[in-house]
């Protein structure tokens, strides 16, 4: 039996256990202090994006045991502040961990499929064809662009696949609710799958565990369109932050070695081809130099730290049938907890977050905290050596849960509904038409 599994069960069964905690130190792949590009978010002004930047934030410092549980203070004991920037947000980290576990089924279980959940795939060829024809009619394009739309859309439909493990709202997501059930009507119009979704919650832990185990760890909110509303908080919370962050300005000018074009020249595109016609300046179409003004584009950070936690009380709120001795609750909590740990460790193996943000994990540690704990940091160490150790413990937890009557249900596959197909087809049609100039 896995030592990590046994330790997690002991932590869960201790009524004073409050949370597992973790932290990792990162450096840019090209060296400490090198610029990295944080994510951007929609700004107050249309077309302008912003970083999640705070100009006066507390600076965490390590205690005598290495945990960053204190804040830097000056000689008078007052907190010292410095700028910080979010390198990867809590929702993004949750998604990374969840998808890493979803994509590693074979590594965890030795076979696939194993994880329960709902997957939405492309509809029938007839539905696809009708959706594409309708989208082409709406965009009013020429024959050449119409064929280009058809080819692009067919490729998109062929690759389409989303699931309760990859969608932001899991089983409550619109792509799930309005997909077609095996009977041919939309899931949210009624039936067995809708009943599963509306039952699964803290008050029906059996259904939640069996069909949507990831929602028990990463949270979900079924907030509308139903009498039974479920809101499960995200038990796993993690964020990567750059401390003592300094903005780095960048600018670039694209030169045209062919000599460019006169600014008075007017250009446009029709059916994908370039024509001389009123509409755009040459620089809009990629001719001539294209300058940019210097702007904040990256940050150099004194330290990049990931800190996270797994809230054990969340799992204690789940209720199970025929469970007066709480054996089911404890077994399920071990699975929920180890799913978070395994997903976290799997995600940490890939430090490439986005262009110009490739991080290397320099240090990592896990621990757990009890209510009213004493001692440095109040954190007791927990040995989690790597993702494979976590995966072995997770497999042991799943097997132990099966022994008390908690089984994963078979995965469910459904097809996109005609209305969803129309949404996809029209998006592809309008994007393709815009790129060819056919909607001018």
Contacts 24+ apart (CB under 8 A), 210-213: 210/116, 210/406, 210/407, 210/408, 210/409, 211/116, 211/117, 211/171, 211/409, 211/412, 212/116, 212/117, 212/164, 212/170, 212/171, 213/115, 213/116, 213/335, 213/336, 213/339, 213/408
Mean pLDDT, range 327-347, rounded to an integer: 98
pLDDT of residue 440: 41
Nearest residue to 277 (alpha-carbon basis) of 138, 104, 73, 437: 437
Q: Is the pLDDT of residue 126 over 50?
A: yes
Low-confidence winner among 92-96, 224-228, 384-388 (lowest mean pLDDT): 224-228
Mean pLDDT, range 247-260, rounded to an integer: 79
Write b or e for each residue in 336-345: b if 16 or more Cβ atoms lie within 10 A of its Cβ, otherwise e: bbbbbbbbbb
Mean pLDDT, range 8-20, rounded to an integer: 96
pLDDT grade, residue 286 (50/70/90)?
A: confident
Mean pLDDT, range 114-132, rounded to an integer: 97
Q: Is the pLDDT of residue 258 over 80?
A: no
pLDDT grade, residue 393 (50/70/90)?
A: very high
Q: How many percent of the chain have pLDDT more than 70?
A: 94
pLDDT tens, residue by residue, 29-72: 999 999 999 999 987 766 567 999 999 999 999 998 899 999 99
181 with 191: CB under 8 angstroms? yes
pLDDT tens, residue by residue, 189-227: 999 999 999 999 999 999 999 999 999 999 998 876 666
pLDDT of residue 137: 95
Q: Is the pLDDT of residue 375 over 60?
A: no
pLDDT grade, residue 377 (50/70/90)?
A: low
pLDDT of residue 262: 80
pLDDT of residue 236: 98
pLDDT of residue 439: 45
Low-confidence winner among 39-43, 104-108, 322-326, 338-342 (lowest mean pLDDT): 39-43
Q: Is the pLDDT of residue 346 over 70?
A: yes
Radius of gyration of the chain (CA): 26
Mean pLDDT, range 230-241, rounded to an integer: 94
Q: How many percent of the chain have pLDDT more than 90?
A: 77
Q: Could you tell me which residue, 334 or 289, shows the higher pLDDT?
A: 334
Q: Could you tell me which residue, 439 or 269, shows the higher pLDDT?
A: 269
Low-confidence winner among 177-191, 253-267, 403-417 (lowest mean pLDDT): 253-267
pLDDT grade, residue 252 (50/70/90)?
A: confident
pLDDT of residue 327: 97
Average pLDDT in the chain? 92
């Amino acid at each position: 039996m896995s030592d990590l599994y046994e330790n997690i069960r002991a932590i869960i069964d201790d009524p004073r256990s409050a949370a597992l905690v973790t932290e990792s130190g990162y450096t840019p792949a090209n060296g400490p202090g090198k610029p990295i590009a944080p994510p951007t978010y929609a700004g107050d002004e249309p077309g302008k994006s912003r970083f999640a930047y705070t100009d006066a934030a507390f600076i965490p410092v390590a205690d005598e045991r290495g945990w960053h549980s204190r804040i830097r203070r000056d000689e008078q004991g007052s907190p010292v502040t410095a700028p910080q920037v979010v390198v990867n947000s809590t929702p993004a980290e949750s998604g990374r961990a969840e998808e890493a576990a979803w994509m590693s089924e074979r590594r965890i279980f030795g076979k696939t499929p194993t994880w329960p959940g709902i997957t939405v795939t492309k509809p029938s060829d007839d539905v696809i064809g009708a959706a594409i024809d309708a989208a082409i009619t709406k965009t009013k394009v020429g024959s050449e662009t119409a064929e280009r739309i058809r080819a692009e859309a067919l490729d998109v439909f062929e690759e389409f696949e989303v699931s309760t493990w990859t969608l932001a709202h899991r089983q409550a997501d619109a792509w799930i609710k309005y997909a077609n059930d095996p009977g041919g009507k939309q899931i949210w119009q009624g039936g067995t799958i809708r009943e599963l979704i509306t039952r699964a919650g803290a008050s029906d832990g059996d259904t939640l565990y069996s069909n949507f185990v990831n929602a028990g760890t990463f949270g979900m909110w079924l907030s509308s369109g139903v009498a039974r509303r479920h809101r499960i908080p995200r038990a796993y919370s993690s964020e990567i932050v750059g401390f003592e962050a300094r903005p780095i300005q960048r600018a670039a000018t694209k030169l045209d070695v062919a000599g460019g074009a006169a600014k008075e020249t007017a250009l446009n595109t029709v059916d994908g081809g370039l024509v001389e016609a009123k509409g755009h300046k040459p620089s809009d179409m990629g001719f001539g130099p294209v300058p940019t003004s210097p702007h904040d584009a990256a940050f150099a950070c004194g330290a990049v730290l990931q800190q996270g936690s797994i809230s054990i009380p969340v799992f204690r709120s789940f209720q199970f049938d025929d469970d007066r001795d709480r054996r089911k609750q404890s077994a399920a909590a071990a699975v929920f907890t180890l799913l978070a740990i395994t997903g976290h460790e799997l995600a940490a193996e890939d430090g490439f977050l986005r262009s110009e943000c490739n991080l290397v994990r320099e240090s990592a540690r896990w621990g757990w905290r009890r209510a009213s704990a004493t001692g440095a940091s109040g954190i007791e160490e927990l040995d989690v050596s790597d993702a494979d150790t976590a995966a072995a413990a997770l497999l042991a937890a799943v097997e132990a849960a099966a022994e008390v009557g908690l089984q994963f249900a078979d995965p469910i596959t459904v097809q996109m509904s005609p209305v969803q197909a129309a949404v996809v087809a029209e998006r592809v049609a309008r994007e393709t038409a815009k790129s060819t100039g056919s909607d001018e």
